[in-house]
A and B are shown apart, each in its own frame.
Chain A
Amino acid sequence: MKEHAQKAAEFIRNESRADWHDEALWFVRAKRDKASHSIPEWEQLRELASRIKDNVLAGLDGYLEQFEANALRNGVHVHWAADAEDHNRIVYGILQKHGVERIVKSKSMLTEECRLNEYLIENGIEVVDTDLGERIIQLKEEPPSHIVMPAIHLKKEEVGELFHQKLHTEKGATGPQYLAEAARQHLRQKFLSAQAAITGVNFAIAETGGVVVCTNEGNADMGVHLAPVQIHCMGIEKILPKAEHLGVFTRLLARSATGQPITIYTSHYHRPREGGEMHIVIVDNGRTTQLGRADFRNSLKCIRCGACMNTCPIYRRSGGHSYGYTIPGPIGSILTPGIDLKKYSGLPFASTLCGSCSDVCPVKINIHEQLYRWRQIIAEQGHLPPAKRQSMKWAARVLARPVWYNLAGKMARWALKWLPRPLLYNRFNEWGKDRELPEPPKQSFKEWYPRKQA
């Protein structure tokens, strides 16, 4: 995997585009600020949500069984999947049983995580993502770059060109309304002909056995209401104990995600409609392992609002694809090391530890502290680049010994003063690529201090 730094540098090479991306996401962050500041009890709400999730994670086994029992009572088929393969096989099994050839999907980061689309398409099923952003990247054959706004990295001109090629819209047409209308007409056909609908799940209520899906486009409802088979895929951490807890989260979710007071649709699915079939697939895929890591358990509180991405100064300037995982940005950088420490060992370092992510997080995940902890584990397990590891060992030796430290400082200042510029600013000097090194003072503070005392 190409390092984040390298992909970020490529992203920034087109500086005006990077600026546009940064501004677009900052705009969403600003909307979030406005929406959250309209709720005086915002911080209490975050605390409450965080504690409800603490309770959920502490009693997850019991809540899941309660949820299953209630769902079964409602006439829902419940499936358990240990990992992504299991999940994909289960979903395909359901489709096979009904002879399904065409499905529609509403947005689900879990199915992205499991690579369900690829699996089903390989098995000959037509899969159509019905969320507009998802459909755009599906047509473009790209992964999502954001968990809430999957096509945020594309400009309307690019969408216009894509739709011209794939949906035969007029060449050069870029009007958002025109393009959205074209997508609507195209998707309408897909909704009408789908034999099954798959959705993700935002919340699963243990007390009722029902699932809740939040969308802005109503596409989850369109799919579920038209197709005879509905399948809802959820991670085990999506549980809420009671229906009364839902309001805490719906108030936080949309405000954090897009600055809306609430998503346009909050759809509740409890039982199959007459003559239909309803399935819920409950997926672990590494979540129980994460639950067992005391320092990182909190990451399972995530409600996938994307606020940490919108606020992250690195994400905004490097784009979601630079992270190389379905869930990018700060939250992705604390989830991925738990999945494959070696492969994703660079991601916890794609941060200045500025802490903005932790402060926007609606469920108070201590993201930047977890980034710091992952860094320690990555170094301990030997996944730091050797040069970095060695330089830190030396730095540690020097900085623990005043005499060495004084000497090293003196040498650095001497070098800054006397070495010719080409020797200082060479290809090994990363700092000096686009920045000047500090101007060396005549003496350090430590050298000045005794003279002052005398």
Chain B
Amino acid sequence: MKIGLFIPCYVDQFYPQVGIATLELLEKLGCQVEYPTGQTCCGQPMANTGCERDAKASYQHFVRLFHPYDYVVAPSGSCTYHVRKHYDIIEQTGEVQKVREKTLDLSEFLLDVLKVKALDSLFPHRVGLHQSCHGLRGLRLGTGSERVLEQQSKLHTLLRMAKGIELVELGRPDECCGFGGTFAINETAISVKMGKGRIADHESQGVEVITAGDMSCLMHLEGIIRRQKKKIKVKHIAEILNGTTI
């Protein structure tokens, strides 16, 4: 089984440690992972701004690079969702269909494909999980609080495998952080206000580390945390699962 590692553009540029943690974790679990170095971006920034036609070249590029792999794994629910959901506007060749089917968020790959039951990770901290919207409501990595269905959450399941971890319950378990891509700069006031609300919820539960399946939410929250000189930290779930310490 050959795995193509997709590291989202902003993770590549600003949060390489998240990419490293993802790669190390997959290799520790015995996977044969390749990182195609020609990769750029899934095209979501343009598409969510209404310019999905401009993004087609990125889509084609992504498919060209990743179609040879059995699975494409990304430490991002949002980018994964974009590939699966919105690559419908290019011609649906066999390669496109395969890439759309086989692109998985890290948590899906760990639980649904590798069927991981335990991880070698120690993280003795109070942790709050931020449920990123595209992972939660797009990929259905968990049951959103709106829905009257059996509660499950892939990210919770994985985090509970870390020894010593104390997962808190939040007042609002899955409210959006306010990032929303270009929304963060087009509706700055609301975006920041939403972020502050999320941080306050975690703080009120005594959280030391906020984690999420998407670094984009955490980049936004971290930006506010650092501006306000707060103590609370952010860590991508891959870092915790890979045994990173704070």
Contacts and interface: CB of A to CB of B under 8 A. Distances in A.
B110 interface: no
A314 B146 CA distance: 17
A243 interface: no
Given A395-B45, A399-B58, A376 B50 contact: yes
B14 to A, nearest CB: 4
B58 A40 contact: no
A372 interface: yes
A86 interface: no
Interface in B211-232: 219-220, 222-224, 226-227
Interface in B26-43: 35, 37-41, 43
Interface size class of A (residues with CB under 8 A): 35 or more
Given A313-B178, A399-B43, A450-B37, A379 B50 contact: yes
Given A22-B197, A450-B37, A380 B180 contact: no
Contact of A435 (B15, B60, B134, B224): B224
B98 interface: no
Contacts, number: 219
Interface in A381-427: 384, 388-389, 392-393, 395-396, 398-402, 405, 409, 412-413
Contacts of A435: 192, 195, 220, 223-224, 226-227
Contacts of A439: 14
B172 interface: yes
A441 B200 CA distance: 28
Nearest to B54: A396
B201 to A, nearest CB: 11
A317 B198 CA distance: 13
Nearest to B177: A352
B239 to A, nearest CB: 13
Given A4-B187, A405-B40, A405-B41, A359 B144 contact: yes
Contacts of B134: 353, 355
Given A33-B146, A392-B49, A396-B58, A12 B138 contact: no
B188 A5 contact: yes
A440 B10 CA distance: 11
A9 to B, nearest CB: 4
Nearest to A312: B176
B152 interface: no
B57 interface: yes
A402 B40 contact: yes
Given A33-B145, A359-B144, A445-B7, A314 B39 contact: no
Interface string A341-373: 000000001111111101110000000000010
Contact of B12 (A22, A350, A446): A446
A318 interface: yes
A352 B41 contact: no
Among B10, B86, B190, chain A packs the most CB atoms within 10 A around the CB of B190
A451 to B, nearest CB: 11
B154 interface: no
A356 B50 CA distance: 20
B61 interface: yes
B149 to A, nearest CB: 6
Contacts of B17: 441
A266 to B, nearest CB: 23
Contacts of B61: 400
10 contacts: A353-B180, A372-B86, A379-B51, A392-B50, A392-B54, A400-B58, A409-B13, A438-B219, A448-B19, A450-B37
Given A356-B137, A395-B54, A445-B20, 14 more contacts: A5-B188, A8-B189, A33-B145, A313-B176, A349-B187, A352-B178, A352-B181, A354-B137, A392-B46, A430-B185, A431-B188, A434-B227, A436-B227, A445-B19
Interface of A: 4-5, 8-9, 12, 15, 18, 22, 26, 33, 36-37, 39-40, 42-43, 311, 313-314, 317-318, 349-356, 358-360, 372, 375-380, 384, 388-389, 392-393, 395-396, 398-402, 405, 409, 412-413, 430-431, 433-441, 443-450, 452
